[in-house]
Amino acid sequence: MCGVVGYTGTKQAASWLLDGLQTLEYRGYDSAGIQVVSPSGNLHGVKCAGRVAVLRERAAAANPVGTCGIGHTRWATHGAPTDRNAHPHLDGTGRIAVVHNGIIENFQELRRELMAAGHTFVSDTDTEVIPHLIQEAWDGPAHGDLAAAVRNACDRLEGSWAVACVCSDVPGTLVCTRNGSPLVVASTDDGAYCASDVMPLAGVTSHVLQLDDFDVATLSPDGTVSITDRDGRKVEHPSAIDIDWDASAAKLGGYSDFMAKEISEQPEALERLLKDRLGKHGIELDELSLTREELAAVDKIVIIACGTSYHVGLIAKAAIERWARIPVAVEYASEFNYNEEYLVTDHTMCVVITQSGETADTLTAARRMRGMGCNVFAITNVLGSTAARESDGTLYIQAGPEIAVASTKAYTAQMVASYLLALRLALANGSMERAEVEKHFHELETLPDIMREVLARRWQDKQAARLFRGKQSSLFLGRNVNATTAYEGALKLKEISYLHAEAYPAGEMKHGPIALIEGGFPVVAVVPADHVHDKTVSNIQECLARGAVVIGVATDGDERVAKMCSEVLWVPPVADELLFPTVAVIHLQLLARYVARDRGYDVDKPRNLAKSVTVE
């Protein structure tokens, strides 16, 4: 959601700003803009609704010249996605330009106050109050000190923000600050940079600094970055992260889209995650901040997540309850946050699952769990993300940058991270012997090769995708852990193909959704060779009896399913039925992608969606 970039230095700013915005496209947006300051203090802005590619064309025609500037991709919250509402926004004198990620909750009150003082506004955004407030401070108490003016202005804000600001009175100076929305800065030989996340910086530096809430950074053309805190005191040791993703990891590398690339990267992602995890203490999970004794005492686990990560939570629950015998509750963060009666025990542990580490609902929930005295353990993909910084311990899934909005490789890597956690807990509390834990770990090690085999069968998904032509809706069914596979498959299909998909535990279908089924209605049934196989087969029969066209996701050699289904997406046998979701979901990711492409959609940037949802 909204991307911020900024640069001041020796090279022309517009070119890097546009490249930086392009790498932030994955966050989801509907308009974009840049503002460049020339050394003589001319502000030149270009902005438009639509893609960065459109902005690039307009910038090429306008040719904004200057070595300092800011850029933005906007995901509309206040005001429609139009040229006028796109960032950057200017103050009343046209000297100060601002980009902003987040939401200003008290903007209406501020706007009224500023209008009463003679300010006029040209957009419908909450953001526009910020440059006007900076103008008030700049011409007033903070005269000549842009950092002080930005700090004064932000002191008036309620809500969340990552803000970058330039001013024609101080042409090479760029000031940025944050509260609740991520922002990183970097100092290099050719200048200083800021960005919403490390992705745009991966090509320019391997070392970035993280701002804490209310820190204000002043970036200078010689590359100097000076950070002060809320009270204006110098921050001597800002927290730093080393980027270990090389820039090429965020490039297509021969694939037609990032979703295809990321689906294909799943085996290697799991291999990285599992490497060196079996050691002399059993499962090595030093990322946990609890001692073995404290782990053994955990008597309840609350998993907090949203969307696809919530589905990981459902699988994690099954693994933890089965292997570690600890009761688990899985909560949608957005629901948990408004459940005032939530109960925890003295030894409740909270597990936060979030690919981006920036999902606003999840962060709020995690803070609340900490406030309730729980140890918070984060499973995330993004180095230095807010979830990682605010948790007691963090397990990075090391899946590499996930650019496509629809999560794929992060889903399976988070799932395997959860299996590791379950095994570690089982060992700590004695519910499993070490030999048994090791056996399960070795079963996890077989997953990458099974994934490779599923990936080699992608033609099956392409073929099955044809059954969705001309359809308006579909039903995904599965039992036990594969009800979750059905939920995730349906979510993927909805996200990128805009085709309605309902997902249900197969046995629950007859209590309502069966009414949807008529001749030719597509049903995807996840029906592995597991302990509920016969039950799911009966549900498939019920669908067939009403004319459904059934696509099965089944274990190799299942003749019974082959006879019933119009298409079967075959999965090699797995050592433990708990692991089937990790590999079977690849078929459903591929299926969704083929259906979406068949319908002519951009699978990487589905409409209305954002990669990291930083508003509640």
Burial 210-239 (b: 16+ CB within 10 A, else e): bbeebbbbbbbbebebbbbbeeeeebeebe
**Interface region with ligand AGP, contact rule CB under 6 A, candidates 38-46, 80-88, 353-361, 478-486:** 353-361
Dist CA 318 CA 320 (whole Å) = 6
Among 266, 359, 474, 614, binds ligand AGP (CB under 6 A): 359
x/- string (CB under 6 A) for ligand AGP, residues 160-179?
--------------------
Q: Which residue is nearest to ligand AGP (CB)?
A: 307
Q: Which is nearer to ligand AGP, 14 or 378 (CB)?
A: 378
Please indicate whether residue 176 is annotated as part of the active site. Answer: no
**Contact yes or no for 445/575 (Cβ under 8 A):** no
Q: Check binding of 407 to ligand AGP (CB under 6 A).
A: yes
Query: How would you class 515 by CB atoms within 10 Å of its CB: exposed for 0-12, middle for 13-18, buried for 19 or more?
Result: exposed
Dist CA 44 CA 254 (whole Å) = 36
DSSP letter at 393? E
**Interface region with ligand AGP, contact rule CB under 6 A, candidates 31-39, 139-147, 352-360, 591-599:** 352-360
Among 307, 384, 478, 522, binds ligand AGP (CB under 6 A): 307
Among 85, 308, 348, 485, binds ligand AGP (CB under 6 A): 308
Q: Check binding of 412 to ligand AGP (CB under 6 A).
A: no
x/- string (CB under 6 A) for ligand AGP, residues 487-516?
--------x---------------------
Dist CA 189 CA 10 (whole Å) = 9
- Least CB distance from residue 306 to ligand AGP, whole Å? 4
Touching ligand AGP, residues 596-615 (CB under 6 A): 609, 612-613
Other C-beta atoms lying within 10 Å of the C-beta of residue 454: 25
DSSP lists the bridge partners of residue 570 as 554
Q: Could you identify the residue written with the tokens 């970055």?
A: 225
Q: Check binding of 405 to ligand AGP (CB under 6 A).
A: yes
Is omega for the bond preceding 448 within 30 degrees of 0, making it cis?
Answer: no
Q: Check binding of 73 to ligand AGP (CB under 6 A).
A: no
3-state SS, residue 86? coil
Dist CA 160 CA 545 (whole Å) = 53
Alpha helices in 372-480, H assignment, sequence order: 386-390, 409-428, 434-445, 447-456, 458-465
**Interface region with ligand AGP, contact rule CB under 6 A, candidates 88-96, 158-166, 321-329, 355-363:** 355-363
**Interface region with ligand AGP, contact rule CB under 6 A, candidates 30-38, 213-221, 369-377, 399-407:** 399-407
Q: Check binding of 536 to ligand AGP (CB under 6 A).
A: no
Among 366, 406, 420, 569, binds ligand AGP (CB under 6 A): 406
Closest CA to 127 of 72, 169, 180: 72
3-state SS, residue 347? coil
Q: Which helix (H) or strand (E) holds 490?
A: helix 481-497
- Least CB distance from residue 612 to ligand AGP, whole Å? 5
- Least CB distance from residue 399 to ligand AGP, whole Å? 11
Q: Check binding of 306 to ligand AGP (CB under 6 A).
A: yes
Number of residues counted as binding ligand AGP (CB under 6 A): 16
Dist CA 258 CA 394 (whole Å) = 26
Touching ligand AGP, residues 23-42 (CB under 6 A): none
Residues with Cβ within 8 Å of 58's Cβ and at least 6 positions away in sequence, in order, are: 46, 48
Q: Check binding of 355 to ligand AGP (CB under 6 A).
A: yes
Among 152, 354, 386, 497, binds ligand AGP (CB under 6 A): 354
Q: Which is nearer to ligand AGP, 404 or 455 (CB)?
A: 404
Q: Check binding of 350 to ligand AGP (CB under 6 A).
A: no
Q: Which of 2, 167, 350, 543 is an active site residue?
A: 2
Closest CA to 554 of 522, 520, 518, 588: 588
Please indicate whether residue 439 is annotated as part of the active site. Answer: no
Q: Which is nearer to ligand AGP, 37 or 591 (CB)?
A: 591
Residues lying near ligand AGP in the complex (CB under 6 A) = 306-309, 354-356, 359, 362, 405-407, 495, 609, 612-613
The residues that are catalytic are 2, 611
